[in-house]
Chain A
């Protein structure tokens, strides 16, 4: 069955409106995207929607209680809730440096959870 769908690209703040025409799993036409990444987004959004997830992880003995983290690549959208459970289960010892891996290959997605901030050890006065 031929199906027409309008998507709003979330790759960058421009937010292009992309028209996609699909026939079950075959994409017949894509139009309206402003760049190559928009076209890739539209295909992925129909066949296997993915998102980069950002959150925080508890830090022990750090200057702050939490450190910001992200998935180092997008993960399937339907795994978001499960991923949040994994993130909320773990904690990390200070010092934390940007880029440190907090969780490896989370939920077998091939994505790691990595720190996006720097948290030094809390100095006792």
Chain B
């Protein structure tokens, strides 16, 4: 099975990369942008297992290493592949 993890800067935290990209898109004529936030996307292939134990495991991975909870939020989904 496959875990798809989405990490993004916490709400209210300045995202310098997002700001720069927002400015660049504006200069390219894309005028209807309110805000750009840039995060990370991580895929983890897991051994097949019970879905709820996979969810608990991935949550632990996020909280231990993958995400810095001071500045980042995360969501994830687990799919068959």
Instruction: Tell me, yes or no, whether A binds B.
Output: no
